[in-house]
Structure 1
């Protein structure tokens, strides 16, 4: 293997490809801490990618990559949806959010095989730091400084709210399990460190308020058990059932936060009409309103930008007291969101993206194959809970890990 430097072959100019790869490592470490830094780094990577040129070579590396094309099709759908959109201002907002998915083919050509470990370690280290800060605030060792962006000390999730923090933490925990138990090429000392981190970070999961993160953690834990006992069904099924039957009640009984959040969720579902602006109650109302919009526009939806205005019309007829839902940008369910915007066509495009990931997982024989299945499972579950496909942090996680996992033979070489 040739020695990698920051200099080009001519030895005069920096190797832009290598610089971009190191910027991607920096992005992996920082995107959970700052929206501004994450967006700036992604923009800088794009600028250097364009300045570098070599577009024929880059196209050759992605032209047979179905994951890259699935991301392109997803973005193109939002441009096509402008044909039956009337609210161009909100359409611009949506496009600004979803346009980032065009970075998938860009990042696939930025990735370098020799840096894969660095990308993942940078992301893991960022989560270790954030969890450490969370413990510090929870134990009152660290004041809840304004820079942490904490909405309330009772929910110590630095930089991001629990809606983002817990799902990302759940996938981080899965990655630790994968590294400790499913990788044979790691030394036992690193595996020991990984196991300790898993225990510490798992406890933190149930000290914060993110119900979806806790739920998807149990789903990923079940998936991991089946992957650990690969090729067997009965034993992992029984073990998964045992783990969940122990962990879920234990978390409920020992964690006041979990107990409160579960009780509140049940109460708000049962009383959504009396408390229409509650967290879960509003989700029920948004689902009912959105389903009515879908029934009226089943094939192509209302277009890229008309969700909010159509939702307001329906909501004022059905639940005029539920005023908070009228200022939100999505129905807190990605599947419903895509159907409202694009009808069955939108759902088909979304499912196609999942299909591509699962198909590439089945075709893979690489070391990341277990994660290639966990990744779509993770997003398939959390998409039921919120508009994560428009969220900065979950979008960047998708761009980073998705590009790594499904790059296939497109990885750059030194």
Structure 2
């Protein structure tokens, strides 16, 4: 080989080596950005979220050679993964005793299947330094949605779709309230933190966003369940971040603000007054939101009593309501596959065994976010909000709220696992994992 040929060969080898290193480092970054984009898309489009998570799973397949199988198996045995997987397994085997067509059984399994993403998110994001990007992307997306909500409230003709509630540009007011309430409470501690640090512009920006989310829920549109879970989230805020004096000031301010909103918001007055009207409709067998829930809960308790141990099987809820509606009129003839209560949704399908798995999962996730720091704060809020709002909806199985839970627990839990690994408490990452190279390479700032 000539001298020129050797030089060309050397250059080619170096180019190939650099390209392979770049490709190796780019794979995890691609997977991470797909999850960030899914979090950004969540307030806007269910289809986009499903597509992005599909691509994310494909990217994980390409990363399989880098997985530390022993560490991943140890993670699966941890209660934070074990109980969600137990609920998925129960839904899977529950299809065997459901007395309905297989298509309906598979449809009943589908809402539970999202919990399979939890262990993958936990492991994957325990290896990425910039997991906070997911939360920032979700916050920015919700902020844009909040701005658009104000616009379409003042100018309904600018709404992206017709037939929605005023102030709801996309999806529905229940999803929108869930998103706005989470962002509002999650941002509140940053107002105090930035103010103490002398970063007054940042503190003011957070305060403006918090007030914007609050005012939107108070004057534009909100779910009535928010009247329950927002005070609970504020109580969590006080317990975690405030001393007694600050807690007293916070709740005094909340009382004054609530009273002001009550006297200045016809929308909120109407939403609360509707409870009494809808309850009277329920007594007269007239369909309305409150009456429907009471009817669904009453019938679901009866279905649970008929099969208390292992339930009627996966996807059986709609079939049971169809049987109970035969020959009935009004509310009694209502048919649904969603009893609008997470515990009852599980109880009807999988009985006491399912209830035990559900509450064990919630308890395990609550206990995993007992510490200090951003990851624990966000993870705790996500679990508490899902648990409380599930009193009035089956939010773990709903698309938006369910993925909020899976993303919140998965990313925040992964951040905690990363912190434990760096302190020697979690051996979940091999030394030659490309995600270590990418995250810890010189020139990359740490969060």
Shorter-chain TM-score range: 0.7 to 0.9
Confirm or deny that 1:26 pairs with 2:41. no
Cα distance in 1 for residues equivalent to 2:333 and 2:20: 58
How far apart are the structure 1 equivalents of 2:297 and 2:381?
27
2:238 equivalent to 1:225 = yes
Question: What residue number does 1:395 align with?
Answer: 402
1:177 has 2:188 as partner:
yes
Please list, as runs of the form range in 1=range in 2, the aligned pairs for 1:205-220 lying within 5 A after superposition: 205-206=217-218, 207-220=220-233
In the alignment, does 2:334 pair up with 1:325? yes
What's 1:103 paired with? 117
Distance 2:252 2:372 in 1: 31
1:353 maps to 2:361: yes
Which residue of structure 2 lines up, in the alignment, with residue 197 of structure 1? Answer: 209
CA deviations on 1:219-259 (whole Å, 9 max, x unpaired) are: 212221232325x4xx5775565455434443332212211
Q: Secondary structure at the match of 1:193?
A: helix
Q: 1:114-139, CA deviations, whole angstroms, 9 ceiling, x for partnerless residues?
A: 22221111000000100010011112
TM-score (norm 2): 0.82
Aligned match of 1:139 in 118, 129, 154?
154
Task: Provide the residue aligned with 2:53 in structure 1.
Answer: 42
User: Separation in 2 of the partners of 1:225 and 1:34?
Assistant: 33
CA distance, structure 1, for counterparts of residue 44 and residue 205 of structure 2: 23
- Residue 151 of structure 1, aligned match among 157, 163, 187: 163
The structure-2 alpha-carbon separation of the partners of 1:34 and 1:265, relative to structure 1 and needing over 3 Å to count, comes to same
What is the distance in 1 between the residues matched to 2:348 and 2:23?
Answer: 54
Give structure 1 stretches of 5+ with no counterpart.
1-6
- Deviation per CA, 1:356-398, whole angstroms, max 9, x where unpaired? 1122123x34443333332221111100111212211112211
User: Corresponding residue for 2:298?
Assistant: 288
CA contact (8 A) 2:152 2:166 kept: no
Cα separation, 1, equivalents of 2:91 and 2:235 = 35
SS of the residue corresponding to residue 158 of structure 2 reads coil
Cα root mean square deviation, aligned: 2.5
Structure 1 equivalent of residue 144 of structure 2: 129
SS in 1 for 2:369: helix
Does the alignment pair 1:82 with 2:95? yes
Relative to structure 1, the CA distance from residue 213 to residue 186 in structure 2 (aligned partners, 3 Å threshold; closer, same or farther) is: farther
Instruction: Decide whether the 8 Å contact of 1:178 with 1:371 is kept in 2.
Output: no
SS at the partner of 2:308?
coil
Distance 1:108 1:220, change over 3 A: same
Residues 343 and 321 (structure 1 numbering): CA distance in 2 closer, same or farther, change over 3 Å?
Answer: same
Conserved? CA contact 2:142–2:180, under 8 Å: yes
1:409 corresponds in structure 2 to 417
CA distance in 2, matches of 1:346, 1:236: 41
In the TM superposition, residue 47 of structure 1 has moved relative to its aligned partner by 0.9
Q: 1:299 aligns to what SS in structure 2? A: coil
Larger radius of gyration, structure 1 or 2?
Answer: 2
Distance 1:340 1:256, change over 3 A: same
Partner of 1:67: 80
After superposition, the Cα gap between the structure-2 partners of 1:196 and 1:344, relative to the gap in structure 1 and judged at 3 Å, is same
How far 1:20 sits from its partner (Å)?
0.4
Tell me if structure 2 keeps the 8 A contact 1:293–1:311.
no
